[in-house]
Structure 1
Amino acid sequence: MGKIICFISDDFADFEITLALHKIRNVGKKEVLTVAYSDESIVSESGLTYKPNLIFREAMELSDIEGLIIPGGPIRIQRQALTDFINKLDQEGKMLAAICNGPQYLGRAGILHKRKFTTSCSIESINQLNVEDPFPRENYVDKRVVREGHVLTAKGRAFVDFSFEIFDYLGIYSNRDEKRELYRDIMDR
């Protein structure tokens, strides 16, 4: 059983990844683990407290990782441990999926410099924060979800579309009718 790793940090937008992680675990039968910079508890944007399963040193030693999911959250400083982990998975051709402001980490790791991407993080927001723009804006595409090879990015409001793009990439739903029915159930509410 392959592992899907989810990066968590203070104030991460847990709602953006809940559907994806639920179906990956329960339909795809994959192990889902959280990774963080330390083993300290983390409080998400919704106020829930999460205890990471792994720190990056431990995650780097795993051999059966299928992908990394990075939720949105505030613009943050990026530590070398995350950059190294992203680059390792990129070199191995593993799924790198980031939503909302999450693509900031892929941008700082250099992953987006050769790929099209999308994000909710506008240049205006970056300028207001007075921080260095982590994105190669010439590769930005104004779409809800962009998939280029093993790299998937999405705007925050497209968390359902993002989940389904991940399902497609991982082959979670081999039965197209089942996938269409789930999508219709979620979107027709």
Structure 2
Amino acid sequence: MGKIICFISDEFADFEITLALHKIRNVGKKDVLTVGYSEEAIVSESGLTYKPDLVFHEAMALNDIEGLLIPGGPIRNQKQELTDFIIKLDEESKMLAAICNGPQYLGRAGLLQNRRFTTSCSVERITQLHVEDPFPRDNYVDKRVVQDGHVLTAKGRAFVDFSFEIFDYLGIYADENEKRELFRDIMDR
């Protein structure tokens, strides 16, 4: 059984990844593990407390990772161990999926230099924060979800679309009717 690793850090937007992780674990039958910079508990944007399953040196030692999921959260500095982990998975062509401000980490790792991507983080927001823009804006696409090879990015409000893009990429639903039913259940009003 392959593993999907989810990066968590203070104030991460847990709501953006809940649907994806629920279906990856319960329908896709994949192990879902969280990774953090330390073993310390983390408080998400919603106020819930999470304790990482792994730290990066432990995650680097795993050999059955299928992908990394990066939720949104504040624009913040990036530690080298996250960059190294992203580069390793990229070299192995593993799924790298990031939503909202999460693509900032892919940008700082150099993965977006030659790939199309999207993000919720505007140039105006970066200017307001007085930080270096982690995004190569020439490759930005103003879409809800963008897939370029094994890299999937999404705007924060597109968390349902993002989840379904991940399901397709990982082959979670072998039967197209089952996938359509779930989408209808979620999107019907």
* TM-score normalized with structure 2 length: 1.00
1:115 alignment partner in structure 2:
115
Q: How far 1:114 moved relative to its partner?
A: 0.6
CA–CA distance in 2 between the matches of 1:130 and 1:148? Answer: 29
For residue 113 of structure 2, give the secondary structure of its aligned residue in structure 1: helix
CA–CA distance in 1 between the matches of 2:15 and 2:25? Answer: 16
CA–CA distance in 1 between the matches of 2:187 and 2:80? Answer: 39
Q: How far 1:187 moved relative to its partner?
A: 0.7
Q: Deviations 1:15-53 (Å, cap 9, x if unpaired)?
A: 000000000000000000000000000000000000000
CA–CA distance in 2 between the matches of 1:62 and 1:89? Answer: 11
CA–CA distance in 2 between the matches of 1:124 and 1:144? Answer: 19
2:45 alignment partner in structure 1:
45
Gaps of 5+ in 1: none
4+ residue runs over 2 A deviation:
none
CA–CA distance in 2 between the matches of 1:99 and 1:187? Answer: 20
Asked if 1:155 corresponds to 2:155, the answer is yes
Gaps of 5+ in 2: none
* TM-score normalized with structure 1 length: 1.00
CA–CA distance in 1 between the matches of 2:153 and 2:137? Answer: 14
Q: CA RMSD in A?
A: 0.3
1:29-68 map, 5 Å: 29-68=29-68
Identity in percent: 83
1:33-182 map, 5 Å: 33-182=33-182
Q: How far 1:80 moved relative to its partner?
A: 0.1
Q: What is the number of equivalent residue pairs in this alignment?
A: 189
Asked if 1:186 corresponds to 2:189, the answer is no
CA–CA distance in 2 between the matches of 1:66 and 1:151? Answer: 12
CA–CA distance in 2 between the matches of 1:98 and 1:69? Answer: 6
Q: How far 1:13 moved relative to its partner?
A: 0.1
CA–CA distance in 2 between the matches of 1:27 and 1:180? Answer: 14
Amino acid at match of 1:153: T
